[in-house]
């Protein structure tokens, strides 16, 4: 699925994504500043969390509560190798049936043992977001 949108369309985009996800593990790809965290903030809201959403760049993972579930939001930008992932217990998070939203997922791809959806966001020359969802 491909979507083109402006940031003021983010709520409709998030709703459409939630309706089209096949899994609860979502990988977010895109250059710095394309709106990955902004989209995740709206997704967390659409999924039912009232928690304050912020980028986990320094904490690596943030946890948000939703009814009968949790959302784990990872930012792996600063992670240099798989050992760092194991040091904070990534396998424990991955083995849950909770929502897992991962920004900068390239380093974790070899460790993923379950299906996931992939969201890639790019900017065009008019600063529209071009989003591709693959399942």
- The C-alpha atoms of residue 34 and residue 30 are separated, in whole angstroms, by 6
pLDDT tens-place string over residues 124-133: 988 899 999 9
Q: Decide yes or no: CATH 3.40.50.300 for domain 2-52+59-134.
A: yes
Give domain limits for the chain. Answer: 2-52+59-134
Read off the pLDDT band of 119 (50, 70, 90): very high
- Phi/psi of residue 46, nearest 5 degrees: -60, -35
pLDDT tens-place string over residues 65-98: 999 999 999 999 999 998 999 998 999 999 999 9
The token duo for 58 is: 């320094």
Residue 7's pLDDT is 87
pTM: 0.93
The token duo for 13 is: 């985009």
């Amino acid at each position: 699925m491909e979507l083109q949108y402006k940031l003021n369309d983010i709520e409709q985009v998030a709703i459409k994504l939630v309706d089209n996800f096949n899994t609860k593990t979502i990988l977010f790809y895109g250059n710095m500043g394309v709106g990955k965290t902004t989209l995740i903030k709206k997704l967390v809201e659409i999924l039912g969390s009232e928690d304050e959403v912020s980028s986990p760049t320094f904490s690596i993972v943030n946890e948000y509560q939703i009814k009968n579930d949790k959302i784990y939001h990872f930012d792996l930008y600063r992670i240099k190798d798989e050992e760092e992932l194991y040091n904070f217990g990534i396998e424990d998070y991955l083995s849950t049936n909770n929502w897992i939203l991962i920004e900068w997922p390239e380093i974790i791809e070899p460790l993923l043992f379950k299906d996931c959806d992939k969201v890639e966001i790019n900017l065009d020359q008019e600063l529209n977001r071009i989003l591709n969802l693959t399942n």
